[in-house]
Structure formats: structure tokens, C-alpha cells
Chains A and B, each alone.
Chain A
Amino acid sequence: MEILVCIKQVPGTSKIEVDPITGVLKRDGVDSKMNPYDLYAIETALRIKEQKGGTIKVISMGPPQAKEIIKEAFMMGADEGALVSDRKFAGADVLATAYTISQGVLKMGKFDLILCGKQTTDGDTAQVGPEMAEYLGIPHIANVLKIIELKEKSVVVEMDMPNTLEIAEIQFPCLLTVEKDIFQPRLPSYRKKVSTKDREIKIISLKDFEDQDEKRYGLTGSPTQVERIFPPSVNNDRETWTGTGAQLSFKMSEKLKQLKFV
């Protein structure tokens, strides 16, 4: 089984500041890490490989320092990795990102299964996976909670449709985005860190792509225009009340009415 896992480097904490003038995330000096949802995708790939054999490749798109998370994927057990990286890709929105990665995927070989995390913790759109599948012309299922059965030419999965759970069978090749907790991700191994220290990480840039039309990438290839980025307002208002249960419950119901919550 040939498996590809898509991973992304995201800020290491949720306490990210936004430059109030430019509206750009202040990434300098901020730690980064692998998108936590992608850990579940890697773990899913490793479990499938344990059962079916094959190889696991990982792909990421980002600046050169995103190699760090590919190394981390090696420390978890991935076999090969490549980074899609080019200045011309900068400023890509969801659509341009999905197209860019799908072009990168074509350079990495043929896959039975492509796995993505459900979403990233920085962009939060949950759209890149499904859009990639569209560009690659393969079927996909998002929000997979469970791998129920791995068959020769297909896989049966349970997916989370907000109000219902659906069980579906999907033919290979296909793309799945997996939910948090599908499996508990393993920890990166120091042994593997040492043994994969010198493993090559291929860089794929625009000149390697089949479609080298610059207009389809980066800011120019992005139909979405971000007007403004701003941090969500934080509400820390607190009141402490003391009293008997009866007094407090009365006060609480009055307060909820006053705030028009009931």
C-alpha cells in the first residue's frame, strides 16, 4: 500500500499576536510544531502500514524551515518526505494551496491512499484536503472517525456528519481527512531521530511542476482576498457571588434573563 500523508507546520502555541497595523501574524521568535491534527493522519498511516505493508511518504508546503516537521514525521516512522517550497507560492489561499500541493503530489509518485488531518490549527478551514482530491480527480471522505475495514481495493470508514455517523466504502485511490482521536498518535522516537538524521528531504519547486503557470500560484493564484486579520476579542469578565443555593439560583436566573440568554 502506497500512502501519502499531508502535513503542515503551524505556530507552536495559540498565543499568537497579530500586528495591529499590517494584520500579519507575528511569527518571528514563535515556536512552531506539526499541526496536531496531522499527527492523527500519520498515526493512521502507520497503523495501516503495520497491517498491509507498503511505504509512507509525507508532503508539506511551506518555507525551508518546514523541513523540521518532515524530520519529525521520520521520527514517528514515515519513510520518505518532500517539501513543496518556492517564494512564488507565498500568500496562497485555500484554493491555490490545494492546487500547489496537488501538483507536488504528482511529482511524488502514485498513491493508493492520501491522508490529511481534519484541519489545521492556524487556518482552520478544513478545505485543503477535499480540494486537493478534486484537483487530483480522486474521491474523498472528510472527518473520518474510524477505519472499519481495509479491503484489497477499498476501505470502509465511519465518518462524522455533524448530526449523524455514516459508514461508507471508498475505492482506492482516495483521500481521507481524519478526526482527532482516530488513534492515539505515537511519540517521536529518539532512535529514529538518530537513524534518519541524514535522510534526504526533497524540495519540490515551481520549476518541477507539470503546470508552471505562475498565475495559478501564490497570491496571484488566490481568489480569496483577506481584508483584515485580527485577534478574537477576549472576554474575561467575572463575577463571584456567595449565598445559599436558593439565593444563588434565583440570582442566576435573573442574570440570565437580563443578559437575554433565556
Chain B
Amino acid sequence: MQDYKTIDLKDIQFLVSLLGKDRVFTGEAINEDFSHDELGGISRMPDVLVEVLSTDEVAKIMKYAYENVIPVVARGSGTGLVGASVPVFGGIMMNMCGMNKILEIDEENLTLTLEPGVLLMEISKYVEEYDLFYPPDPGEKSATIAGNINTNAGGMRAVKYGVTRDYIRGLEVVLPNGDVINVGGKVVKNSSGYSIKDLICGSEGTLGIVTKVILKLIPLPKKAISLLIPFPNLDMAISTVPKIIKSKATPTAIEFMQREVILAAEEFLGKKFPDNSSDAYLLLTFDGNSTEDIEKDYEKVANICLEEGALDVFIIDTDERKEAVWSARGAFLEAVKASTTEMDECDVVVPRNKVAEFIKYTDVLQKQFNVRIRSFGHAGDGNLHVYVLKDDLSDEAWEKKLSEVFAAMYSKSEELEGLVSGEHGIGFAKKGYMLDQCGCEYVGLMKNIKLAFDPKNILNPGKVCQ
């Protein structure tokens, strides 16, 4: 346990002198939302919440906090799922959402420069007007870009396009001592020393505060068609995925879903899904520049699926059909959440040809522990989202069961050569599982990296490797 300075009147006066009193909040003026993130469970109020609007403000606050040894946490939309943005040591919380301007679209370099608080949903809308495309597509569209960068968020299109890290060209970062550095830039190639940019990405707010972002864009594919493919059971559905990947077809996304989750989404939305007669489905998307090109690509996959026992292959080619299917897909998490009292999520990633084995194992756990387990999501990139549901278990029984089920899942993932988190991060909640898997040398190296960036350990302490 570290000794941090407790926030006092002098500190508040400093913050007010810098930001004005309208952007400094203490005590009851701080909304309860700032004490936790999306999944809850871990919470602590910051001692003071500030709204920052410029790199200069961030740098000055960091410098002050560094001199006075005050813990600082930077927060975006708070849509994280592992407690990474929870100020577990109190201190200063910086709300980055006010830094939300898109600064420049550079059509000659295909880059977009923006402030950290711009929401993901705004980025796609903005760049598509220029026939450009920012491919990372995490489900939570109200997350900020810096939040996505700090978790290296993935999303559905990872199968074809990769993850957030693949689209960061440059960053402006405020270091824990208040210094401002620029890493990367608009350049396409970069062999100039250690890639600090790639280290900041995925650091969950522990190494520096991102204050400006340069993203890589690509030309916007003109058309997209999805296929909804019903299978008699989940095993057949998921076992087909490695064959699709082997066929060298290039879907942007391969998702799987089960009937019970579809029914939950129908009830949640009060809207019928176009087909709910089968036990399991794959949902694939293909994009390209013409319907003919896309058809060529998907026909190969459609035939593979039929050979593997798919009942049919449904084509989703118009806005109305996309809306009918994707609105349900987008509501799965909320629908599962609404069907129970509390839940926790395991976000492991396993090699793609092991997905079926892992999912089958969760089915075994469901029976073995007599607990409801639901899963859906990315079958094409090996990243699973497995939800363990509390239902009417007592708090005590739940805690016990949850930790046993989680331990079993993480050990299975390790056995299959998977990793603890595919896209949600480690934050506070999954530290133990990562420390177990990574081993002393690896964790020691991470701790030394943290020390090099943050010798006084004031930036988002108690997270990831600590």
C-alpha cells in the first residue's frame, strides 16, 4: 500500500485556479457514475473530479499531482468492463469527454486527427462522409477513442481488418510527470526505436494520458452483405468456422449465436428476429466494392456451410434486413443482462480452431456447477464473451461459484494456449488471472515498464500488473 497525499483545500484551490470552479467537482457534486464502470462490482469515488479541455491543462494537473504524489485516473465514457477506470486509491479523476473535437481529416495521408474524447460512433459517421473507413468496430459505440486505444479494443471486424492497435498512427501523450511527448505521426512506416505508441495502446491508462490521436483510415468498401446461417446445433456451427477460415474467403466478421440468446433479444426488444427456428447460427459479413464481387466471395462460404450441415444460408442485403438482424445482435448483451440479476464476463481469446472446444467446455461447466452460462460473439477471431449469470443465487454462493467457474475457464483457456483477455483488458478485475498465467519474468518486465513511465506510481495505480 502506497502513501498518497490526501486531497486538501490547497489542491482544490490549485485545480480551481487552473480550470475555474465550474469544472472542478467534489463530494456530492460528483455523480455516482464516476465511481464505477459498466460491469460494476468494483467502485470507489474520486476525491475530486475535473473536466479537462486541453493538453496543457492535463499536463499542468499531472505535473502538480506528480510533485504532490496524488493518484490520478483519466476516464472516458466509463464503458469498460474490468474496472480499469475506477479510482481505487481515490485522488483526482480527469474526465476526458470534453476533449471531443475532430481536428483534421487528411485525405492525402488517409489519417484522422482527433482529441481523445471523440466517441467511436462519431468517427465512423464522420469519415464515411469522405468515403473513408475506420474499421475497428467494438460493440460499445459510445466508448471514446482513447478508451478504445487504452484497451486495444477489437470488435467484430477484427477477422478481416485487425484491431485498434493496427489503426493508430500517432499519439500525443502526457506522461505522469507532466511532460508531453509525441509518438509515431502521420508516417506509414516507423522503425525509429522502441514503439512507445504500441505500448501506450492497451496500457489501460497506467503509462500516460492520451491527449491527441492520429488514426489510420482506409477507403470505404462500397457494399456489405451478411449471411445468417442456421445449424442444427452449436457444435456443427462452430466446427465449420475453421473450414471457412481455411477456405481463404475474407469475411469481415464471423459471429455465432444460439437460439436462447435470440429469444432473449426478441423479448428484450419486443421485435421478432427473421428466423429463430434453429438451435445455433453463424452470422458472417462480407464487404467489397460490388455486389458481384461479394457474391463470389460468399458463395464459396455458403457452399462450405451447406456441406457441413447448415440448414440453409440466409442473405442479408438491404438496410431493412441488416437492421432486423444487427439490431438484435447489438442487443444481446443487454438482453442477457436483463434476464438475470447479476453477471460476470470472461473475455478469453483462444486460437481460432479451439473456439468450439472452449464453448463445449462452458456447456460442461454449466451442468457441472448448475449455473446458467451464456455466450455469443466472435467465432472468427477466437475472442469469446462468456457470461456467467447469478440468477437467484445468494451473494455468498454466487461469489464462490463464480470464482470456481472462472478459475476453470481460465485454466482451460491456458490449456488451449489462449490468453486472459481478447479485448476488454485486465484493469482491476482480471489481474489475478493474468498474473497467474504470465509468470514472474513477464510480470516483472511489465512492472519495470510501469516504473520507467511512472516512478512515483501515481497514474491509475493498482491496475494491470500491480
Binding site for B on A (CB under 8 A): 12-13, 31, 33-34, 36, 39, 75, 183-191, 193
Contact = CB atoms under 8 A, between A and B. Distances in A.
Contacts of A189: 312-315
Nearest to A14: B319
A190 B227 contact: yes
Given A190-B302, A191-B306, A185 B274 contact: yes
A29 B267 CA distance: 40
Given A184-B272, A186-B274, A187-B228, A36 B320 contact: yes
Interface string B263-300: 00000000111110000000000000001000000010
Nearest to A192: B312
Contacts of B271: 184
Given A75-B315, A189-B313, A191-B313, 4 more contacts: A184-B271, A184-B272, A187-B228, A187-B321
A193 B312 CA distance: 11
Nearest to A180: B320
Contacts, number: 49
A91 B243 CA distance: 51
A184 B320 contact: no
Contacts of B306: 190-191
Given A184-B272, A184-B274, A190 B318 contact: no
Contact of A193 (B273, B315, B325): B315
Nearest to A34: B318
Contact of B273 (A31, A183, A184, A190): A184
Nearest to B314: A187
B316 interface: yes
Interface of B: 223, 227-228, 271-275, 291, 299, 302, 306, 312-321, 324-325
26 contacts: A12-B319, A31-B223, A34-B318, A36-B320, A183-B272, A184-B271, A184-B274, A185-B274, A186-B275, A187-B274, A187-B275, A187-B314, A187-B315, A187-B316, A187-B325, A188-B314, A189-B312, A189-B315, A190-B302, A190-B312, A190-B313, A190-B314, A190-B315, A191-B306, A191-B313, A193-B315
Contacts of B273: 184
B315 A39 contact: no
A205 B317 CA distance: 30
List 3 tightest A-B contacts by C-beta distance, closest first: A187-B314, A190-B313, A184-B272
A205 to B, nearest CB: 28
Contacts of B325: 187
A234 to B, nearest CB: 14
A74 to B, nearest CB: 13
A12 B318 contact: yes
Nearest to B324: A184
A12 B320 CA distance: 10
A122 to B, nearest CB: 14
Contact of A39 (B275, B319, B320): B320
Contacts of B316: 187
A48 B360 CA distance: 40
Nearest to A193: B315
A68 B371 CA distance: 49
Contacts of A184: 271-274, 324
Nearest to B320: A36
Contacts of A36: 318, 320
A33 B313 contact: no
Contacts of A191: 306, 312-313
A189 to B, nearest CB: 5
A13 B222 CA distance: 13
A82 to B, nearest CB: 23
Nearest to B227: A190
A39 B318 CA distance: 12
Contacts of A185: 274
A49 to B, nearest CB: 17
